[in-house]
Amino acid sequence: MKYKRILLKLSGEALMGDRQYGIDPVRLAEYAEEIKKIHDKGTEIAIVIGGGNIFRGVAGASNGMDRVQGDYMGMLATVINGMALQGALEDKGMLTRLQTALKIEAIAEPYIKRRAVRHLEKGRIVIFGAGTGNPYFTTDTAAVLRGVEIHADVILKGTRVDGVYDSDPEKNPDAVKFDFISFDDVISKGLNVMDSTAFTLSQENKLPIVIFDMNKQGNLLKICEGENIGTVVNI
């Protein structure tokens, strides 16, 4: 396997499947099956999930809600998604641990870096919930931060599109896809890979990002085996 330890970033919206909101159990089971394929090959897996399928702090703020309050609600939404994914993974026979940046000890361990790394070394899948534990930071930033802390080899960002394009492929049929691109080129071309805080953190720590279509069966395994799937953002 090309990568020994990965940080998989999933959006909350990805868990909706064809629904308008919430969690689609079919999509959840599909993701669990994809993750099992790389787990069975010995890859150490950490996961960060967004909460946009349940609540978005930015959306709440735009409707007059206090931004800090809204962001904390969004953090709790990521914990709900983490619990759902944890259940789906354990149904497939994998051992998991859910760690949260906010203390919710009845359902999850508090995030402790050394403990997280030990779980990974023992073959457990670690799901990080509640973002960074601070308002104004996205789950993209949380994913890169945790990836740096646990010394992940790569950030794998599963999305609905199969990589980074020079324009929106859902709006422009002539959009050109990049197989490889540097951090500097992403900035100079104004491409939207992650929010700027997450992207800068990844660049400064020389942590590569792979953007790929998580909904295409087998993609996750192919990336971990070294195939050129999606777009690789690197130095």
Structural domain spans, the chain: 5-233
Instruction: List CB contacts of 15: < 8 A, sequence separation 6 or more.
Output: 23, 24, 27, 28, 31, 49, 53, 81, 84, 85
The pLDDT of residue 55 is 87
Looking at the domain that runs over 5-233, which CATH code has it been given? Answer: 3.40.1160.10
Residue 131 annotated as binding site? no
Residue 133 annotated as binding site? yes
The pLDDT of residue 47 is 98
- For residues 130, 17, 94, 37, the Cα torsion angle rounded to the nearest 10 degrees is -120
Q: How many CA atoms lie within 13 A of 137 on its CB side?
A: 17
Token pair of 20, please?
């308008």
Mean pLDDT, rounded, for 192-219: 94
Query: Is the model's pLDDT at 21 over the cut of 90?
Result: no
Residue 110 annotated as binding site? no
Q: Are strands 96-100 and 180-182 parallel, antiparallel or unpaired?
A: unpaired
The pLDDT of residue 185 is 94
Query: Is the model's pLDDT at 222 over the cut of 90?
Result: yes
The pLDDT of residue 232 is 96
Residue 9 annotated as binding site? yes
The pLDDT of residue 63 is 81
Q: Mean pLDDT, the chain, as a whole number?
A: 94
The pLDDT of residue 50 is 95
The pLDDT of residue 28 is 96
pLDDT digit string (tens) for 127-163? Answer: 999 999 999 999 999 999 999 999 999 999 998 889 9
Residue 135 annotated as binding site? yes
The pLDDT of residue 221 is 97
Our measurement of the distance from residue 93's CA atom to the centroid of its chain's CA atoms, rounded to an integer in Å, reads 21
Cβ-contact 130, 100 below 8 angstroms: yes
Residue 71 annotated as binding site? yes
Token pair of 90, please?
């354990």
The pLDDT of residue 115 is 98
Residue 165 annotated as binding site? yes
Residue 136 annotated as binding site? yes
Residue 63 annotated as binding site? no
pLDDT digit string (tens) for 72-86? Answer: 999 999 999 999 999
pLDDT digit string (tens) for 5-20? Answer: 999 999 999 999 888 8
* Higher pLDDT pick, 68 / 170: 68
The pLDDT of residue 192 is 84
Residue 200 annotated as binding site? no
How would residue 173 be classed by pLDDT, with cut points 50, 70 and 90?
Answer: confident
How would residue 59 be classed by pLDDT, with cut points 50, 70 and 90?
Answer: confident
Residue 166 annotated as binding site? no
Residue 78 annotated as binding site? no
Under DSSP, the state recorded for 156 is: E
Mean pLDDT, rounded, for 219-232: 96
191 residue type, one letter: L
pLDDT digit string (tens) for 23-37? Answer: 999 999 999 999 999
Residue 91 annotated as binding site? no
pLDDT digit string (tens) for 95-139? Answer: 999 999 999 999 999 999 999 999 999 999 999 999 999 999 999
Residue 141 annotated as binding site? no
Residue 134 annotated as binding site? yes
Residue 137 annotated as binding site? yes
Residue 139 annotated as binding site? yes
